[in-house]
């Protein structure tokens, strides 16, 4: 087994891995999650900026050929609060590659502006530009089978009211706590497995 490295305050030892370098990033950078996409030829680090109780909570990405950084972050966020699309205070992301090779990003949003009410889990299909940089297709999907490549046909590209905000489609509040991460990861893995069937 190889060496272990611990990330503390966005640093390994005294060397910063990622810092706030653009105006959309606040001083708080959290939830780093690196992936490697061979076609991109570099690592992509997804992260949250801000706090989940403020409207400035956003998801961004950074790239580097060396996983130990320093990382160069995107000039604009990948996902941010967008009330008309139903995205309110997004963050806490995790990227996973399905068995069919497609990438997905899972993250939470608040039910209401101002961070009132519970939170919901959303799933986005991650696509990659010709230069290997990530972009998203469609709108968040909540408790609904996601068919990759047919988002418009399924009504999640151009629907007037996002599916996850329509009455009767939410799953309400969720509990949080130290033991919830494993259960959530198992649910995400199970859901992604079903998407690929």
pLDDT digits (tens, 9 = 90+) for 111-168: 665 556 667 777 888 888 888 888 887 655 444 555 555 555 555 554 444 444 444 4
- State how far the Cα of 173 lies from the Cα of 141, in Å rounded to an integer: 17
Residue 62, helix vs strand vs coil: strand
DSSP 87: B
- pLDDT given at position 84: 61
Q: Where are the domains of the chain?
A: 11-195
96 in Cβ contact with 103 (< 8 Å): yes
Give tens-digit pLDDT for 5-59. 445 455 555 556 666 677 777 767 778 888 888 877 889 989 888 777 766 788 8
pLDDT band at 173 (very low <50, low <70, confident <90, very high): very low
Give tens-digit pLDDT for 63-72. 888 888 788 8
pTM of the model: 0.64
Residue 61, helix vs strand vs coil: strand
Does CATH number 2.115.10.20 belong to domain 11-195?
yes
Question: Any bridge partners for residue 16, and if so which?
Answer: 11
Q: Smallest Cα–Cα separation from 122: which of 97, 99, 139?
A: 139
Name the E strands within the chain: 11-12, 15-16, 29-37, 42-49, 58-64, 72-73, 91-97, 103-110, 119-128, 134-141
């Amino acid at each position: 087994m190889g060496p272990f490295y611990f990330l503390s305050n966005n640093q390994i030892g005294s060397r910063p891995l990622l810092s706030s370098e653009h105006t959309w990033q606040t001083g708080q950078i959290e939830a780093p999650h690196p992936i490697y996409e061979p076609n991109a030829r570099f690592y992509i680090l997804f992260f949250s900026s801000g706090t989940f109780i403020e409207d400035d909570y956003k998801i961004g990405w950074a790239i580097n050929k060396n996983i130990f950084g320093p990382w160069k972050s995107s000039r604009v966020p990948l996902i941010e609060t967008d009330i008309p699309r139903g995205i309110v205070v997004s963050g806490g992301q995790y990227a996973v590659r399905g068995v069919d090779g497609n990438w997905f990003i899972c993250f939470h949003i608040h039910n209401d502006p101002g961070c009132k009410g519970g939170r919901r889990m959303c799933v986005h299909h991650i696509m990659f530009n010709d230069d290997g940089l990530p972009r998203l297709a469609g709108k968040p999907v909540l408790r609904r089978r996601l068919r990759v490549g047919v988002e418009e046909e399924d009504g999640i590209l151009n629907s007037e009211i996002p599916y996850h905000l329509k009455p009767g489609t939410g799953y309400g509040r969720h509990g949080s706590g130290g033991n919830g991460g494993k259960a959530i990861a198992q649910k995400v893995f199970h859901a992604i497995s079903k998407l690929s069937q």
